[in-house]
Amino acid sequence: MTGKAESQEYSLDEQVQYLNARLEELAVAGEWNEVAHVMDKRNSLLQSIDGPAREAALVAARRVTIRVQKLAESARQEVGEKLSQLQRGKRATDSYLAHA
């Protein structure tokens, strides 16, 4: 769903649903720069939805955003743990070299 197809073949609601699914795929894959880009696009489309579909679209978007946020927090924690391991290793190496 890109370009011309987005604007002519799919409703705003369908586009938002697609982008919600895409956000989750990208977050699971750890593609955080792309997550930010798609989230901006999705949020922009949400502004254009009105009427009865708006509330449902906002609720769905919020659920996806919460799941993406949890994945981001988990990824951040993993990176933090790896950084801690690297720092401990560096301190051990520095200590070894200082006493060798």
Alpha helices by DSSP H, listed for 1-100, are 4-8, 12-29, 32-48, 52-99
The predicted-structure confidence for 6-30, as pLDDT tens digits, reads as follows 556 899 999 999 999 999 999 999 9
pTM summary value: 0.73
The predicted-structure confidence for 65-77, as pLDDT tens digits, reads as follows 999 999 999 988 9
The token pair at 32 is 């955080």
The token pair at 1 is 């769903």
Distance, first Cα to last Cα, the chain: 61
What residues does each domain of the chain span? 4-75
The predicted-structure confidence for 35-65, as pLDDT tens digits, reads as follows 999 999 999 999 999 998 899 999 999 999 9
Task: Determine phi and psi for 29, rounding to 5 degrees.
Answer: -80, -10
